Amino acid sequence: MRTILLNNLRKIIKANKHYYTVHAQEQMALRHIRNAEVAEAILGERTEIIEEYPQDKYSPSCLIYGVTGKERALHVQSNYQGVIITTYEPDLNKWHDDMKTRRR
C-alpha cells in the first residue's frame, strides 16, 4: 500500500500539482530548504514512507524520508493529495542514524 501511495504522490510532484501550507513555507525558509530539494527528496531512489498518520488533523498524511541530489536527508510530511505540510532535516537526537526510526 505504501508503494502505491508514494507512486501517486510522485505523479503529483512530477506534474507540479503539489502545493505547500503556510507552515511548510515558513519552515522551509527558516531551514533553507528549497522547493527543488523537496521534489528531489520525494522523487529520489532512496525515498520511502516511514510513518503514516491516518487520523491526521485535516486528512491522512505520511512522513517521507528522502535524499536530495546533494545528499541532504529530508523528512517531508505530506497528505496524499500533494499538500506538503512540513519538511526538515532529521535531528539525530530524535532519529536513529538511519534517519528513519524514531528514538524512543
Q: Does the pLDDT value for residue 17 go beyond 80?
A: yes
Asked if the structure places residue 58 within a domain, the reply is: yes
Interval 27-83: pLDDT, tens: 999 999 999 999 999 999 999 999 999 999 889 999 999 999 999 999 999 999 999
Asked if the structure places residue 20 within a domain, the reply is: yes
Domain carrying residue 52: 2-88
Total number of domains in the chain: 1
Asked if the structure places residue 14 within a domain, the reply is: yes
How many CA atoms does the CB half-sphere of 16 hold within 13 Å?
A: 2
Asked if the structure places residue 104 within a domain, the reply is: no
pLDDT of residue 58: 82
3-state helix, strand, coil in the chain (%, to 5): 30, 30, 40
Q: Which of 10, 35, 5, 37 is nearest to 20 (CA)?
A: 35
Give the position of cell 507512486: 7
